[in-house]
Amino acid sequence: MNRNFENELSGVVPIVPTPFNEKEEIDEDALRRLIDFAITSGVKAVCLPAYASEFYKLTDEEKLQVVRIAVEQAAGRLKIVAQCNHPALNVAISLAKANVHAGANVISLAVPRIFGLPENALKEYLSHFLDSVPETPVLIQDFNPGGSSVSVEFIKDLMHAHANFKYLKLEEPLCAPKFENIIKATGGKVGLFEGWGGLYMLELIPIGIAGVMPGLAVADILQNVFDLRSKGEHGKAFDLFEKVMPQIFFALQNMELFHYAEKELLIARGVLKNSISRKAAYIPDPSSIRYIKELNQRIINIL
């Protein structure tokens, strides 16, 4: 069966955090509120469980659980991008197939970066994964703090070999030239998403990225920024983005700090009741707690 994979994702596709109760168990009611919040924020899709969802602290069954809940709660009102990260290919494939069966619209996978691997090994891993869900569009994420992301030639080859490789999310600074080269090499057939909280979005929107994947708590604001910049209202886009950038920049100093700041902002917005992350979790000092509250209040004032 042939699928039309075009235009599944665009604009802001936020990452949904995993809410926990006092026993560090997944809080299903809170997760359903987060999905409803995403819908009222005006975004068309969300992604989970990703790095910003603490996927690395979830069991494989819990990873599937949060996707099932999200699909059920969304009920077709927005698209669900199901992240299936695992360094073992057979486990990643198992997660992907289960998420497709559960109703996920797009499957996402992070390039395995626990240890350095040559590109031929990564290509074999990703090719088998893409072949396992041929009728479902796939978003590949490359977050490589220890070095550069996959090469332009690698991306081009993967696109030609797999029709369902439709999106690529890169998280690295000074990536505008690389994004331009990818768009040229692929003819724009692979939609590019910027991660890292949306920090570089104003630089990359004019280049032609498909969207950004920030935290959920500021998704509605960043959707407005994306729309303004895309329409050429650059001054308004910069003015609005400058108001949220201090919070994004501070939180991204540490991924575990990001979890805390993100959930605290969702508390301030009336969506979550606690900012619990699974241990090991970042324990903010009193100064950081005060500053995060100050930054979050400034965002509330925008709204």
In the chain, the percentage of residues whose pLDDT exceeds 70 is 98
Q: At what angle do helices 176-186 and 152-161 cross, to 10 degrees?
A: 30
Span 214-232, pLDDT tens digits = 999 999 999 999 999 999 9
Q: Does the annotation place 201 within a ligand binding site?
A: no
Measured distance CA(99)–CA(33) in Å, rounded: 21
40 close to 269: Cβ distance less than 8 angstroms: no
pLDDT at 96: 98
What pTM was computed for the model? 0.96
Higher pLDDT, 3 or 162: 162
CB atoms within 10 A of CB 202: 19
| Residue 178 in tokens | 């690389």
Span 91-147, pLDDT tens digits = 999 999 999 999 999 999 999 998 889 999 999 999 999 999 999 999 999 988 878
pLDDT at 73: 98
Asked if the model's pLDDT at residue 10 lies above 60, the reply is: yes
Asked if the model's pLDDT at residue 148 lies above 70, the reply is: yes
pLDDT at 173: 83
List Cα–Cα distances, 62 to 30, 167, 174, 215, 275, in angstroms: 15, 25, 35, 20, 19
List Cα–Cα distances, 52 to 94, 102, 258, in angstroms: 22, 22, 8
Average pLDDT (285-290) is 97
CB atoms within 10 A of CB 282: 15
Asked if the model's pLDDT at residue 44 lies above 60, the reply is: yes
Span 88-104, pLDDT tens digits = 999 999 999 999 999 99
178 Cβ neighbours under 8 A, 6+ residues apart? 149, 152, 170
Domains of the chain, earliest start first: 11-221 (3.20.20.70)
